[in-house]
Amino acid sequence: MARKKDGVNRSEEIRQLYRAYPKLTVKEVVSTLADKGIKVADTLVYFVKGKLKGQRGRRKRMVANVAASTGTSRNDAVVTIRKVKGLAAEVGGLNQLKALVEALTE
């Protein structure tokens, strides 16, 4: 567990500031916390800000990966339709392919 100097968790104070005002610069965060009486090094602010940004980045990548693996786009559907048409042509037409599929489902 992290030590708390003066009973204040400085990292949590930085996180709360960035949640409330995400566009703040590091100098503004340091001066805002100094007004509250909390002494913070700019390196700690950079560290916490990087951690927060990294979490958002990982979350975006995870969502994108899930969408890419589970969803299909229009291009994939067109390719699939062309493959089915090619297969139908190989087996003797669409009616013959339909009969084969029905035979497989029995």
- What does the longest C-alpha to C-alpha distance in the chain come to? 82
User: Over the stretch 25-53, which tens digit does the pLDDT of each residue have?
Assistant: 999 999 999 999 999 999 999 999 988 87
| pLDDT value, residue 38 | 92
How crowded is residue 33: how many other Cβ atoms within 10 Å of its Cβ? Answer: 19
The residue assigned the tokens 């090094």 is 41
The full 3-state SS of 45-84, as one line of letters, equals HHHHHHHHHHHHHHHHHHHHHHHHHHCCCHHHHHHHHHHH
Using alpha carbons, select from 33, 35, 61 the residue that is nearest to residue 45.
33
Hey, where are the domains in the chain?
1-71, 72-106
| Alpha carbon separation from 32 to 17, 18, 39, 52 (Å, rounded) | 9, 11, 10, 19
Predicted confidence pLDDT, tens digits, the chain (106 residues) = 556 556 789 999 999 999 999 899 999 999 999 999 999 999 999 999 988 877 667 778 888 887 777 655 566 778 888 888 888 888 888 888 888 888 888 7
| pLDDT value, residue 30 | 95
